[in-house]
A and B are shown apart, each in its own frame.
Chain A
Amino acid sequence: MLSAFLQAAVGSTIARICSGWLLVITSAALFGPLLSPWEADAMDWDALEAAPSAAHWLGTDLIGRDMLLRIMLGARISLGVALIATFVSVLIGVPFGALSGYVGGRLDQILMRIVDTLYALPFILIVILLVVVFGRNPALLFLALGAVFWLDIARIVRGQTLRAREQTYISAARSMGASQTRIIFKYIIPNVAGPALVYATLTIPGVILAESFISFLGLGIQEPDTSWGVLIADGTQSMESAPWTLLFPALAMGLTVWSCNMLGDRLRDQFDIASRGYNRRPDTVGNLS
Protein backbone atom coordinates (compact mmCIF):
# COMPACT_ATOMS: atom_id res chain seq x y z
CA MET A 1 0.00 0.00 0.00
CA LEU A 2 2.83 2.36 0.89
CA SER A 3 4.52 1.72 -2.42
CA ALA A 4 1.29 2.52 -4.24
CA PHE A 5 1.12 5.82 -2.40
CA LEU A 6 4.73 6.59 -3.26
CA GLN A 7 4.17 5.63 -6.86
CA ALA A 8 1.27 8.04 -7.10
CA ALA A 9 3.12 10.81 -5.26
CA VAL A 10 6.43 10.84 -7.16
CA GLY A 11 5.81 8.53 -10.11
CA SER A 12 5.76 11.19 -12.80
CA THR A 13 6.84 14.78 -13.42
CA ILE A 14 3.35 16.13 -12.85
CA ALA A 15 3.04 14.13 -9.66
CA ARG A 16 6.39 15.41 -8.45
CA ILE A 17 5.34 19.00 -9.14
CA CYS A 18 2.12 18.47 -7.20
CA SER A 19 3.77 16.77 -4.23
CA GLY A 20 6.53 19.38 -4.28
CA TRP A 21 4.04 22.24 -4.15
CA LEU A 22 2.08 20.66 -1.31
CA LEU A 23 5.32 20.17 0.60
CA VAL A 24 6.32 23.80 0.00
CA ILE A 25 2.97 25.24 1.03
CA THR A 26 2.71 23.03 4.12
CA SER A 27 6.16 23.97 5.36
CA ALA A 28 5.50 27.61 4.54
CA ALA A 29 2.35 27.44 6.64
CA LEU A 30 4.20 25.78 9.52
CA PHE A 31 7.48 27.69 9.58
CA GLY A 32 7.08 30.67 7.24
CA PRO A 33 5.45 33.04 9.73
CA LEU A 34 8.28 32.37 12.22
CA LEU A 35 10.92 33.33 9.66
CA SER A 36 9.18 36.36 8.23
CA PRO A 37 10.71 39.71 9.23
CA TRP A 38 7.23 41.22 9.42
CA GLU A 39 4.63 41.02 12.16
CA ALA A 40 1.20 39.62 11.36
CA ASP A 41 -0.78 42.82 11.84
CA ALA A 42 2.06 45.29 11.45
CA MET A 43 1.33 47.97 8.91
CA ASP A 44 4.19 49.23 6.83
CA TRP A 45 3.30 52.90 6.41
CA ASP A 46 6.01 53.38 3.82
CA ALA A 47 4.57 50.65 1.65
CA LEU A 48 0.79 50.87 1.50
CA GLU A 49 -0.54 48.78 -1.37
CA ALA A 50 3.03 48.40 -2.59
CA ALA A 51 3.93 46.21 -5.54
CA PRO A 52 6.21 43.20 -4.98
CA SER A 53 9.70 44.34 -3.99
CA ALA A 54 12.80 43.13 -2.16
CA ALA A 55 11.28 44.06 1.21
CA HIS A 56 7.82 42.66 0.48
CA TRP A 57 8.30 39.77 -1.94
CA LEU A 58 4.62 39.53 -2.82
CA GLY A 59 3.74 43.17 -2.19
CA THR A 60 1.52 44.57 0.54
CA ASP A 61 -2.22 44.96 0.94
CA LEU A 62 -4.35 48.07 1.27
CA ILE A 63 -3.11 48.85 4.77
CA GLY A 64 0.50 47.83 4.23
CA ARG A 65 0.52 44.29 5.59
CA ASP A 66 3.01 41.90 4.02
CA MET A 67 1.18 39.67 1.51
CA LEU A 68 3.60 36.76 1.73
CA LEU A 69 3.11 36.57 5.47
CA ARG A 70 -0.65 36.94 5.13
CA ILE A 71 -0.76 34.11 2.58
CA MET A 72 1.27 31.85 4.85
CA LEU A 73 -0.96 32.67 7.81
CA GLY A 74 -3.99 32.09 5.60
CA ALA A 75 -2.55 28.71 4.62
CA ARG A 76 -2.49 27.72 8.29
CA ILE A 77 -6.24 28.21 8.56
CA SER A 78 -7.20 26.98 5.10
CA LEU A 79 -5.06 23.83 5.29
CA GLY A 80 -5.95 23.37 8.95
CA VAL A 81 -9.66 23.50 8.18
CA ALA A 82 -9.16 21.08 5.33
CA LEU A 83 -7.24 18.55 7.41
CA ILE A 84 -9.55 18.68 10.42
CA ALA A 85 -12.73 18.57 8.34
CA THR A 86 -11.34 15.69 6.29
CA PHE A 87 -10.41 13.85 9.47
CA VAL A 88 -13.94 14.34 10.80
CA SER A 89 -15.40 13.12 7.52
CA VAL A 90 -13.24 9.97 7.64
CA LEU A 91 -14.24 9.43 11.25
CA ILE A 92 -17.94 9.48 10.33
CA GLY A 93 -17.82 8.07 6.82
CA VAL A 94 -15.68 4.97 7.34
CA PRO A 95 -17.67 3.31 10.17
CA PHE A 96 -20.93 4.36 8.52
CA GLY A 97 -20.00 2.84 5.18
CA ALA A 98 -18.46 -0.27 6.70
CA LEU A 99 -21.51 -0.91 8.87
CA SER A 100 -23.87 -0.39 5.97
CA GLY A 101 -21.90 -2.65 3.64
CA TYR A 102 -21.14 -5.40 6.11
CA VAL A 103 -24.51 -5.78 7.83
CA GLY A 104 -26.44 -5.22 4.61
CA GLY A 105 -30.17 -5.84 4.23
CA ARG A 106 -32.63 -3.47 5.86
CA LEU A 107 -30.00 -1.50 7.73
CA ASP A 108 -28.02 -0.97 4.54
CA GLN A 109 -31.12 0.35 2.79
CA ILE A 110 -31.93 2.76 5.59
CA LEU A 111 -28.37 4.04 5.92
CA MET A 112 -27.99 4.55 2.20
CA ARG A 113 -31.32 6.35 2.04
CA ILE A 114 -29.97 8.73 4.68
CA VAL A 115 -26.93 9.35 2.50
CA ASP A 116 -29.15 9.94 -0.54
CA THR A 117 -31.27 12.38 1.43
CA LEU A 118 -28.24 14.31 2.57
CA TYR A 119 -26.88 14.45 -0.97
CA ALA A 120 -29.92 16.45 -1.96
CA LEU A 121 -29.19 19.16 0.60
CA PRO A 122 -27.59 22.41 -0.43
CA PHE A 123 -24.52 21.78 1.73
CA ILE A 124 -22.89 25.13 1.87
CA LEU A 125 -26.16 26.74 2.82
CA ILE A 126 -26.54 24.29 5.68
CA VAL A 127 -23.03 25.12 6.87
CA ILE A 128 -23.86 28.82 6.66
CA LEU A 129 -27.03 28.10 8.61
CA LEU A 130 -24.95 26.40 11.30
CA VAL A 131 -22.60 29.37 11.40
CA VAL A 132 -25.53 31.77 11.73
CA VAL A 133 -27.05 29.76 14.54
CA PHE A 134 -23.96 29.03 16.60
CA GLY A 135 -21.89 32.10 15.89
CA ARG A 136 -18.71 32.37 13.92
CA ASN A 137 -16.49 30.00 15.74
CA PRO A 138 -13.71 28.59 13.53
CA ALA A 139 -13.73 25.26 15.37
CA LEU A 140 -17.42 24.90 14.62
CA LEU A 141 -16.82 25.73 10.98
CA PHE A 142 -14.27 22.90 10.81
CA LEU A 143 -16.67 20.41 12.35
CA ALA A 144 -19.62 21.53 10.27
CA LEU A 145 -17.66 21.14 7.06
CA GLY A 146 -16.48 17.71 8.15
CA ALA A 147 -20.02 16.75 8.94
CA VAL A 148 -21.17 17.44 5.39
CA PHE A 149 -18.20 15.99 3.53
CA TRP A 150 -18.38 12.38 4.73
CA LEU A 151 -20.95 11.20 2.21
CA ASP A 152 -18.57 10.28 -0.59
CA ILE A 153 -16.30 8.43 1.79
CA ALA A 154 -19.22 6.50 3.27
CA ARG A 155 -20.35 5.45 -0.18
CA ILE A 156 -16.89 4.35 -1.32
CA VAL A 157 -16.24 2.44 1.89
CA ARG A 158 -19.59 0.69 1.57
CA GLY A 159 -18.72 -0.44 -1.94
CA GLN A 160 -15.32 -1.69 -0.84
CA THR A 161 -16.86 -3.46 2.14
CA LEU A 162 -19.32 -5.30 -0.06
CA ARG A 163 -16.32 -6.64 -1.92
CA ALA A 164 -14.26 -7.43 1.19
CA ARG A 165 -17.17 -9.19 2.89
CA GLU A 166 -16.95 -12.11 0.46
CA GLN A 167 -13.27 -12.77 1.15
CA THR A 168 -12.27 -15.99 2.83
CA TYR A 169 -10.53 -14.36 5.78
CA ILE A 170 -13.84 -12.79 6.76
CA SER A 171 -15.61 -16.17 6.65
CA ALA A 172 -12.71 -17.55 8.65
CA ALA A 173 -13.12 -14.85 11.29
CA ARG A 174 -16.85 -15.45 11.38
CA SER A 175 -16.46 -19.20 11.75
CA MET A 176 -14.12 -18.64 14.66
CA GLY A 177 -16.91 -16.76 16.38
CA ALA A 178 -15.69 -13.20 16.04
CA SER A 179 -18.38 -10.68 16.84
CA GLN A 180 -19.76 -8.34 14.20
CA THR A 181 -18.16 -5.29 15.80
CA ARG A 182 -14.83 -7.07 15.94
CA ILE A 183 -15.02 -8.11 12.31
CA ILE A 184 -15.92 -4.60 11.18
CA PHE A 185 -13.24 -2.83 13.17
CA LYS A 186 -10.50 -5.43 13.07
CA TYR A 187 -10.84 -6.85 9.56
CA ILE A 188 -13.08 -4.73 7.38
CA ILE A 189 -11.92 -1.21 8.20
CA PRO A 190 -8.17 -1.90 7.88
CA ASN A 191 -8.85 -3.44 4.50
CA VAL A 192 -10.87 -0.55 3.17
CA ALA A 193 -8.57 2.09 4.67
CA GLY A 194 -6.60 2.56 1.45
CA PRO A 195 -9.54 3.63 -0.70
CA ALA A 196 -10.88 5.72 2.17
CA LEU A 197 -7.57 7.58 2.36
CA VAL A 198 -7.62 8.12 -1.37
CA TYR A 199 -11.02 9.72 -1.12
CA ALA A 200 -9.80 11.75 1.80
CA THR A 201 -7.20 13.38 -0.46
CA LEU A 202 -10.03 14.25 -2.82
CA THR A 203 -12.00 15.72 0.08
CA ILE A 204 -9.25 18.16 1.05
CA PRO A 205 -9.57 20.45 -1.99
CA GLY A 206 -13.34 20.40 -1.63
CA VAL A 207 -13.09 21.65 1.93
CA ILE A 208 -10.54 24.31 0.98
CA LEU A 209 -12.93 25.61 -1.67
CA ALA A 210 -15.91 25.46 0.66
CA GLU A 211 -14.11 27.39 3.39
CA SER A 212 -12.93 30.04 0.96
CA PHE A 213 -16.45 30.33 -0.38
CA ILE A 214 -17.95 30.93 3.06
CA SER A 215 -15.19 33.32 4.14
CA PHE A 216 -15.54 35.18 0.85
CA LEU A 217 -19.15 35.95 1.71
CA GLY A 218 -17.99 37.32 5.05
CA LEU A 219 -19.57 34.46 6.99
CA GLY A 220 -16.49 32.41 7.85
CA ILE A 221 -13.10 33.34 9.22
CA GLN A 222 -12.93 36.94 10.50
CA GLU A 223 -10.21 39.50 11.04
CA PRO A 224 -7.66 39.47 12.57
CA ASP A 225 -7.54 35.79 11.57
CA THR A 226 -7.17 35.21 7.89
CA SER A 227 -7.65 32.46 5.36
CA TRP A 228 -7.28 32.21 1.62
CA GLY A 229 -10.97 32.98 1.21
CA VAL A 230 -10.61 36.17 3.27
CA LEU A 231 -7.50 37.18 1.31
CA ILE A 232 -9.25 36.61 -2.01
CA ALA A 233 -12.25 38.62 -0.83
CA ASP A 234 -9.90 41.47 0.20
CA GLY A 235 -8.04 41.07 -3.07
CA THR A 236 -11.18 41.49 -5.17
CA GLN A 237 -11.80 44.79 -3.39
CA SER A 238 -8.42 46.16 -4.40
CA MET A 239 -7.71 44.18 -7.58
CA GLU A 240 -8.00 47.23 -9.79
CA SER A 241 -5.27 49.25 -8.15
CA ALA A 242 -3.25 46.34 -6.73
CA PRO A 243 -3.75 43.16 -8.79
CA TRP A 244 -1.16 41.26 -6.72
CA THR A 245 -3.48 41.28 -3.70
CA LEU A 246 -5.82 39.00 -5.65
CA LEU A 247 -3.33 37.19 -7.84
CA PHE A 248 -1.07 35.63 -5.20
CA PRO A 249 -3.69 34.27 -2.78
CA ALA A 250 -5.68 32.95 -5.75
CA LEU A 251 -2.56 31.32 -7.14
CA ALA A 252 -1.69 29.72 -3.81
CA MET A 253 -5.17 28.30 -3.45
CA GLY A 254 -5.56 27.28 -7.08
CA LEU A 255 -2.25 25.42 -7.09
CA THR A 256 -3.09 23.62 -3.88
CA VAL A 257 -6.54 22.58 -5.05
CA TRP A 258 -5.18 21.48 -8.40
CA SER A 259 -2.31 19.49 -6.84
CA CYS A 260 -4.62 17.67 -4.46
CA ASN A 261 -6.99 16.82 -7.31
CA MET A 262 -4.20 15.53 -9.54
CA LEU A 263 -2.65 13.41 -6.79
CA GLY A 264 -6.06 12.15 -5.71
CA ASP A 265 -6.88 11.08 -9.26
CA ARG A 266 -3.57 9.25 -9.56
CA LEU A 267 -4.07 7.52 -6.25
CA ARG A 268 -7.52 6.46 -7.34
CA ASP A 269 -6.08 4.95 -10.50
CA GLN A 270 -3.39 3.18 -8.45
CA PHE A 271 -5.93 1.61 -6.18
CA ASP A 272 -8.29 0.99 -9.06
CA ILE A 273 -11.32 1.94 -7.05
CA ALA A 274 -14.47 1.04 -8.91
CA SER A 275 -15.68 4.55 -9.41
CA ARG A 276 -18.82 3.94 -11.33
CA GLY A 277 -21.20 2.64 -8.80
CA TYR A 278 -24.78 3.68 -8.90
CA ASN A 279 -25.50 7.36 -8.77
CA ARG A 280 -21.93 8.39 -8.21
CA ARG A 281 -21.33 12.08 -8.07
CA PRO A 282 -18.60 12.79 -10.57
CA ASP A 283 -16.16 15.58 -9.90
CA THR A 284 -17.77 16.59 -6.66
CA VAL A 285 -14.59 18.20 -5.56
CA GLY A 286 -14.12 20.54 -8.43
CA ASN A 287 -17.56 21.98 -8.52
CA LEU A 288 -18.27 23.09 -5.13
CA SER A 289 -18.05 26.70 -5.90
Chain B
Amino acid sequence: MARYLTTRIFFTLFTFWVIVTLVFFLMRLAPGGPFDGDRRLPPDVEANLLAAYNLDKPIVEQYVDYLVMISHGDLGPSFKQKDFSVNELVRAGLPVSLTVGGLALIIALSSGIALGVRAGLDTGSRIDTVVMGSANLGLAVPSIVLAPVLLLLFGVWLGWLPAGGVGSPAHYVLPSIALALPFTAAIARLTRGSVAETRLEPHVMTAIAKGLPRSRIVLRHILPIALLPVLTYLGPAAAALLTGSVVIEQVFDLPGIGRYFVQAALNRDYTLVMGVVVVYAAFILLFNLFVDLSYKRLDPRIELR
Protein backbone atom coordinates (compact mmCIF):
# COMPACT_ATOMS: atom_id res chain seq x y z
CA MET B 1 0.00 0.00 0.00
CA ALA B 2 2.77 2.42 0.97
CA ARG B 3 4.58 1.58 -2.23
CA TYR B 4 1.44 2.08 -4.26
CA LEU B 5 0.91 5.43 -2.62
CA THR B 6 4.46 6.56 -3.38
CA THR B 7 4.32 5.57 -7.05
CA ARG B 8 0.92 7.19 -7.41
CA ILE B 9 2.07 10.44 -5.89
CA PHE B 10 5.23 10.38 -7.94
CA PHE B 11 3.22 9.75 -11.09
CA THR B 12 0.85 12.60 -10.25
CA LEU B 13 3.74 15.01 -9.76
CA PHE B 14 5.33 13.79 -12.98
CA THR B 15 2.12 14.35 -14.93
CA PHE B 16 1.81 17.81 -13.45
CA TRP B 17 5.34 18.62 -14.56
CA VAL B 18 4.56 17.37 -18.09
CA ILE B 19 1.49 19.62 -18.25
CA VAL B 20 3.34 22.69 -16.98
CA THR B 21 6.17 22.11 -19.45
CA LEU B 22 3.78 21.57 -22.33
CA VAL B 23 1.84 24.70 -21.51
CA PHE B 24 4.97 26.78 -21.07
CA PHE B 25 6.55 25.87 -24.38
CA LEU B 26 3.27 26.10 -26.27
CA MET B 27 2.86 29.65 -25.08
CA ARG B 28 6.42 30.57 -25.99
CA LEU B 29 5.96 29.05 -29.45
CA ALA B 30 3.22 31.54 -30.13
CA PRO B 31 4.00 33.77 -33.07
CA GLY B 32 4.20 37.38 -31.95
CA GLY B 33 4.82 38.56 -28.40
CA PRO B 34 2.15 39.41 -25.89
CA PHE B 35 2.79 43.14 -26.40
CA ASP B 36 2.33 43.20 -30.17
CA GLY B 37 -0.57 45.59 -30.35
CA ASP B 38 -1.90 47.68 -33.17
CA ARG B 39 0.55 50.39 -32.26
CA ARG B 40 4.25 49.71 -32.53
CA LEU B 41 5.90 50.38 -29.17
CA PRO B 42 9.12 52.40 -29.06
CA PRO B 43 12.08 49.98 -28.82
CA ASP B 44 13.19 50.97 -25.34
CA VAL B 45 9.66 50.79 -23.95
CA GLU B 46 9.34 47.33 -25.41
CA ALA B 47 12.70 46.29 -23.98
CA ASN B 48 11.65 47.54 -20.56
CA LEU B 49 8.37 45.67 -20.77
CA LEU B 50 10.09 42.45 -21.79
CA ALA B 51 12.56 42.85 -18.96
CA ALA B 52 9.78 43.52 -16.47
CA TYR B 53 8.10 40.25 -17.42
CA ASN B 54 11.39 38.32 -17.67
CA LEU B 55 10.87 37.74 -21.38
CA ASP B 56 14.33 38.96 -22.40
CA LYS B 57 16.20 36.03 -20.90
CA PRO B 58 17.09 32.84 -22.80
CA ILE B 59 14.15 30.48 -23.00
CA VAL B 60 15.72 27.78 -20.83
CA GLU B 61 16.30 30.28 -18.06
CA GLN B 62 12.70 31.51 -18.38
CA TYR B 63 11.52 27.92 -18.13
CA VAL B 64 13.50 27.25 -14.97
CA ASP B 65 12.25 30.51 -13.49
CA TYR B 66 8.71 29.52 -14.32
CA LEU B 67 9.08 26.09 -12.68
CA VAL B 68 10.50 27.70 -9.54
CA MET B 69 7.69 30.22 -9.55
CA ILE B 70 5.01 27.53 -9.93
CA SER B 71 6.54 25.42 -7.19
CA HIS B 72 6.11 28.42 -4.91
CA GLY B 73 2.47 28.58 -5.90
CA ASP B 74 3.01 31.81 -7.82
CA LEU B 75 1.40 32.02 -11.25
CA GLY B 76 2.90 35.37 -12.20
CA PRO B 77 1.36 38.65 -13.30
CA SER B 78 -1.47 38.91 -15.79
CA PHE B 79 -0.28 40.31 -19.11
CA LYS B 80 -3.46 42.11 -19.95
CA GLN B 81 -5.00 43.02 -16.61
CA LYS B 82 -2.05 45.10 -15.51
CA ASP B 83 -2.92 45.59 -11.86
CA PHE B 84 -3.68 41.98 -11.08
CA SER B 85 -1.57 38.90 -10.60
CA VAL B 86 -2.90 35.61 -11.95
CA ASN B 87 -3.07 34.40 -8.35
CA GLU B 88 -5.42 37.21 -7.42
CA LEU B 89 -7.68 36.51 -10.37
CA VAL B 90 -7.72 32.79 -9.66
CA ARG B 91 -8.40 33.42 -6.00
CA ALA B 92 -11.34 35.62 -6.94
CA GLY B 93 -12.82 33.12 -9.40
CA LEU B 94 -12.05 29.77 -7.83
CA PRO B 95 -14.67 29.81 -5.03
CA VAL B 96 -17.44 30.40 -7.57
CA SER B 97 -16.20 27.66 -9.91
CA LEU B 98 -15.69 25.19 -7.09
CA THR B 99 -19.13 25.85 -5.65
CA VAL B 100 -20.86 25.22 -8.97
CA GLY B 101 -18.65 22.23 -9.79
CA GLY B 102 -18.99 20.70 -6.32
CA LEU B 103 -22.75 21.14 -6.23
CA ALA B 104 -23.04 19.64 -9.72
CA LEU B 105 -20.95 16.66 -8.67
CA ILE B 106 -23.12 16.06 -5.60
CA ILE B 107 -26.33 16.35 -7.63
CA ALA B 108 -25.02 14.08 -10.38
CA LEU B 109 -23.75 11.44 -7.97
CA SER B 110 -26.77 11.29 -5.70
CA SER B 111 -29.48 11.39 -8.34
CA GLY B 112 -27.51 9.34 -10.89
CA ILE B 113 -26.78 6.53 -8.43
CA ALA B 114 -30.32 6.53 -7.04
CA LEU B 115 -31.87 6.29 -10.51
CA GLY B 116 -29.33 3.73 -11.68
CA VAL B 117 -29.87 1.45 -8.68
CA ARG B 118 -33.62 1.67 -9.05
CA ALA B 119 -33.41 0.74 -12.74
CA GLY B 120 -30.71 -1.88 -12.28
CA LEU B 121 -32.58 -3.79 -9.58
CA ASP B 122 -35.53 -4.11 -11.89
CA THR B 123 -34.17 -4.45 -15.41
CA GLY B 124 -36.82 -4.59 -18.07
CA SER B 125 -39.44 -2.92 -15.90
CA ARG B 126 -41.22 0.25 -16.89
CA ILE B 127 -39.10 2.34 -14.52
CA ASP B 128 -35.99 0.91 -16.15
CA THR B 129 -37.21 1.85 -19.62
CA VAL B 130 -38.09 5.38 -18.56
CA VAL B 131 -34.81 5.95 -16.72
CA MET B 132 -32.66 4.60 -19.53
CA GLY B 133 -34.65 6.40 -22.19
CA SER B 134 -34.20 9.75 -20.48
CA ALA B 135 -30.56 9.01 -19.73
CA ASN B 136 -29.85 8.41 -23.42
CA LEU B 137 -31.69 11.61 -24.25
CA GLY B 138 -29.73 13.47 -21.58
CA LEU B 139 -26.47 12.34 -23.15
CA ALA B 140 -27.50 13.59 -26.59
CA VAL B 141 -28.39 17.12 -25.48
CA PRO B 142 -25.18 19.12 -25.30
CA SER B 143 -24.71 21.54 -22.42
CA ILE B 144 -24.40 24.47 -24.81
CA VAL B 145 -28.08 23.87 -25.66
CA LEU B 146 -29.29 22.69 -22.27
CA ALA B 147 -27.92 25.60 -20.24
CA PRO B 148 -29.44 28.44 -22.31
CA VAL B 149 -32.79 26.61 -22.53
CA LEU B 150 -32.95 26.09 -18.74
CA LEU B 151 -32.00 29.73 -18.27
CA LEU B 152 -34.77 30.89 -20.59
CA LEU B 153 -37.36 28.55 -19.13
CA PHE B 154 -36.82 28.93 -15.38
CA GLY B 155 -34.94 32.20 -15.27
CA VAL B 156 -36.80 34.31 -17.80
CA TRP B 157 -40.22 32.87 -18.67
CA LEU B 158 -41.21 31.34 -15.36
CA GLY B 159 -39.02 33.66 -13.31
CA TRP B 160 -38.59 31.10 -10.54
CA LEU B 161 -34.86 31.52 -10.18
CA PRO B 162 -32.31 34.27 -10.83
CA ALA B 163 -31.21 34.24 -14.46
CA GLY B 164 -27.54 34.94 -13.91
CA GLY B 165 -24.82 36.43 -11.77
CA VAL B 166 -24.05 35.63 -8.15
CA GLY B 167 -25.32 36.95 -4.85
CA SER B 168 -27.62 34.49 -3.14
CA PRO B 169 -27.61 30.69 -2.88
CA ALA B 170 -30.53 30.68 -5.34
CA HIS B 171 -28.16 31.94 -8.02
CA TYR B 172 -26.32 28.64 -7.90
CA VAL B 173 -29.33 26.39 -8.44
CA LEU B 174 -29.74 26.66 -12.21
CA PRO B 175 -26.02 26.55 -13.11
CA SER B 176 -25.40 23.49 -10.91
CA ILE B 177 -28.37 21.61 -12.33
CA ALA B 178 -27.46 22.52 -15.91
CA LEU B 179 -23.90 21.35 -15.32
CA ALA B 180 -24.98 18.17 -13.51
CA LEU B 181 -27.57 16.80 -15.92
CA PRO B 182 -25.34 15.09 -18.52
CA PHE B 183 -23.30 13.55 -15.71
CA THR B 184 -26.43 12.37 -13.93
CA ALA B 185 -27.40 10.59 -17.14
CA ALA B 186 -23.99 8.98 -17.55
CA ILE B 187 -23.79 7.88 -13.91
CA ALA B 188 -27.33 6.47 -14.01
CA ARG B 189 -26.45 4.39 -17.07
CA LEU B 190 -23.24 3.11 -15.54
CA THR B 191 -24.80 2.28 -12.17
CA ARG B 192 -27.71 0.50 -13.77
CA GLY B 193 -25.41 -1.76 -15.78
CA SER B 194 -23.20 -2.74 -12.91
CA VAL B 195 -26.03 -3.16 -10.41
CA ALA B 196 -27.77 -5.49 -12.85
CA GLU B 197 -24.57 -7.53 -13.04
CA THR B 198 -23.58 -7.45 -9.36
CA ARG B 199 -27.07 -8.51 -8.36
CA LEU B 200 -26.31 -11.98 -9.76
CA GLU B 201 -22.96 -12.48 -8.05
CA PRO B 202 -22.59 -15.38 -5.58
CA HIS B 203 -22.03 -13.21 -2.52
CA VAL B 204 -25.33 -11.43 -3.19
CA MET B 205 -27.09 -14.79 -3.64
CA THR B 206 -25.71 -15.82 -0.26
CA ALA B 207 -27.00 -12.63 1.32
CA ILE B 208 -30.43 -13.24 -0.16
CA ALA B 209 -30.39 -16.87 0.99
CA LYS B 210 -29.53 -15.73 4.52
CA GLY B 211 -32.74 -13.74 4.43
CA LEU B 212 -31.15 -10.32 4.95
CA PRO B 213 -33.45 -7.35 4.51
CA ARG B 214 -33.50 -5.91 1.00
CA SER B 215 -32.13 -2.53 2.02
CA ARG B 216 -29.12 -4.15 3.67
CA ILE B 217 -28.44 -6.33 0.63
CA VAL B 218 -28.52 -3.33 -1.65
CA LEU B 219 -26.49 -1.01 0.56
CA ARG B 220 -23.89 -3.43 1.90
CA HIS B 221 -23.58 -6.18 -0.66
CA ILE B 222 -24.45 -4.75 -4.05
CA LEU B 223 -23.58 -1.05 -3.96
CA PRO B 224 -19.90 -1.15 -2.92
CA ILE B 225 -19.07 -3.48 -5.82
CA ALA B 226 -21.45 -1.89 -8.28
CA LEU B 227 -19.99 1.55 -7.66
CA LEU B 228 -16.50 0.64 -8.91
CA PRO B 229 -17.18 1.64 -12.54
CA VAL B 230 -18.71 4.89 -11.29
CA LEU B 231 -15.52 5.55 -9.36
CA THR B 232 -13.44 4.92 -12.48
CA TYR B 233 -15.67 7.32 -14.34
CA LEU B 234 -15.20 10.05 -11.75
CA GLY B 235 -11.62 10.77 -12.82
CA PRO B 236 -12.39 11.79 -16.40
CA ALA B 237 -15.73 13.18 -15.22
CA ALA B 238 -13.92 15.66 -13.01
CA ALA B 239 -12.03 16.91 -16.05
CA ALA B 240 -15.21 17.11 -18.10
CA LEU B 241 -17.02 18.83 -15.25
CA LEU B 242 -14.40 21.56 -15.08
CA THR B 243 -14.46 21.98 -18.84
CA GLY B 244 -18.24 22.06 -18.81
CA SER B 245 -18.21 24.73 -16.15
CA VAL B 246 -16.45 27.01 -18.65
CA VAL B 247 -19.64 27.09 -20.75
CA ILE B 248 -21.93 27.24 -17.74
CA GLU B 249 -20.09 30.24 -16.32
CA GLN B 250 -20.33 31.93 -19.69
CA VAL B 251 -24.06 31.31 -20.06
CA PHE B 252 -25.04 32.21 -16.51
CA ASP B 253 -22.60 35.09 -16.26
CA LEU B 254 -20.77 33.70 -13.23
CA PRO B 255 -17.43 35.28 -12.32
CA GLY B 256 -15.54 31.98 -12.08
CA ILE B 257 -12.14 31.02 -13.44
CA GLY B 258 -13.72 29.44 -16.51
CA ARG B 259 -14.86 32.84 -17.65
CA TYR B 260 -11.46 34.34 -16.99
CA PHE B 261 -10.06 31.55 -19.12
CA VAL B 262 -12.29 32.35 -22.10
CA GLN B 263 -11.66 36.09 -21.82
CA ALA B 264 -7.94 35.50 -21.50
CA ALA B 265 -7.98 33.18 -24.50
CA LEU B 266 -9.87 35.77 -26.55
CA ASN B 267 -7.45 38.60 -25.80
CA ARG B 268 -4.35 36.43 -25.68
CA ASP B 269 -3.50 37.00 -22.06
CA TYR B 270 -0.85 34.28 -22.03
CA THR B 271 -0.02 34.14 -18.36
CA LEU B 272 -3.65 34.02 -17.32
CA VAL B 273 -4.45 31.22 -19.80
CA MET B 274 -1.43 29.28 -18.57
CA GLY B 275 -2.33 29.91 -14.96
CA VAL B 276 -5.89 28.66 -15.34
CA VAL B 277 -4.81 25.51 -17.20
CA VAL B 278 -2.25 24.81 -14.47
CA VAL B 279 -4.86 25.26 -11.74
CA TYR B 280 -7.38 23.07 -13.59
CA ALA B 281 -4.75 20.38 -14.15
CA ALA B 282 -3.76 20.42 -10.48
CA PHE B 283 -7.37 19.88 -9.46
CA ILE B 284 -7.95 17.10 -11.93
CA LEU B 285 -4.77 15.31 -10.88
CA LEU B 286 -5.53 15.57 -7.18
CA PHE B 287 -9.02 14.29 -7.79
CA ASN B 288 -7.70 11.34 -9.82
CA LEU B 289 -5.23 10.50 -7.09
CA PHE B 290 -8.03 10.51 -4.56
CA VAL B 291 -10.16 8.27 -6.81
CA ASP B 292 -7.30 5.80 -7.27
CA LEU B 293 -6.81 5.55 -3.56
CA SER B 294 -10.45 4.88 -2.80
CA TYR B 295 -10.77 1.67 -4.85
CA LYS B 296 -9.65 -0.56 -2.05
CA ARG B 297 -12.14 0.97 0.34
CA LEU B 298 -14.98 -0.22 -1.85
CA ASP B 299 -13.76 -3.64 -2.91
CA PRO B 300 -11.26 -5.34 -0.57
CA ARG B 301 -10.56 -7.95 -3.26
CA ILE B 302 -8.65 -5.38 -5.28
CA GLU B 303 -4.87 -5.54 -5.00
CA LEU B 304 -3.30 -2.12 -5.32
CA ARG B 305 -0.07 -2.29 -7.21
Q: Mask for B232-254, Cβ within 8 A of A = 1, else 0?
A: 11011101101110110011000
Contact call A284/B148, Cβ cutoff below 8 A:
no
* Known A134-B30, A246-B149, A288-B240: A217·B142 in contact at CB below 8 Å: no
* Known A212-B142, A239-B152: A217·B247 in contact at CB below 8 Å: yes
Contact call A286/B148, Cβ cutoff below 8 A:
no
Bound complex: CA A77 to CA B103 (Å): 35
Contact call A125/B26, Cβ cutoff below 8 A:
no
* Nearest chain A CB to B289 CB, angstrom units: 10
Bound complex: CA A120 to CA B280 (Å): 11
Contact call A246/B186, Cβ cutoff below 8 A:
no
**Chain B residues near A280 (CB, 8 Å)?**
232
* Nearest chain A CB to B207 CB, angstrom units: 24
Q: Which of A116-157 contact B (CB under 8 A)?
A: 117, 119-126, 128-135
* Pick from B11, B29, B186, B247: contact of A282, CB under 8 Å: B186
Bound complex: CA A132 to CA B219 (Å): 48
Contact call B143/A131, Cβ cutoff below 8 A:
no
Contact call B152/A229, Cβ cutoff below 8 A:
no
**Chain A residues near B141 (CB, 8 Å)?**
250, 254
* Nearest chain B CB to A219 CB, angstrom units: 6
Bound complex: CA A131 to CA B266 (Å): 10
Interface size class of A (residues with CB under 8 A): 35 or more
A200 contacts partner chain B, Cβ-Cβ < 8 Å: no
Q: Mask for B47-78, Cβ within 8 A of A = 1, else 0?
A: 00000000000000000000000000000000
What's the dominant secondary structure at chain B's contact region? helix
* Known A219-B265, A239-B152, A289-B144: A122·B280 in contact at CB below 8 Å: yes
Bound complex: CA A280 to CA B246 (Å): 25
* Known A129-B277, A219-B266: A120·B29 in contact at CB below 8 Å: no
Residues of A whose CB lies within 8 Å of any CB of B are 113, 117, 119-126, 128-135, 209, 212-213, 216-219, 229, 232-233, 236, 239-240, 246, 250, 253-255, 257-258, 261, 276, 279-284, 286-289
Residues of B whose CB lies within 8 Å of any CB of A are 11, 14-15, 18-19, 22-23, 26-27, 29-31, 136, 139-145, 148-149, 152, 156, 182-183, 185-186, 189-190, 229, 232-233, 235-237, 239-240, 242-244, 246-247, 250-251, 261-262, 265-266, 268, 270, 273, 276-277, 280-281, 284-285, 288
16 chain-A/chain-B pairs, Cβ below 8 angstroms: A119-B236, A125-B246, A125-B276, A128-B265, A129-B27, A129-B273, A133-B27, A134-B31, A212-B144, A232-B142, A236-B148, A240-B156, A282-B229, A286-B186, A287-B139, A289-B244
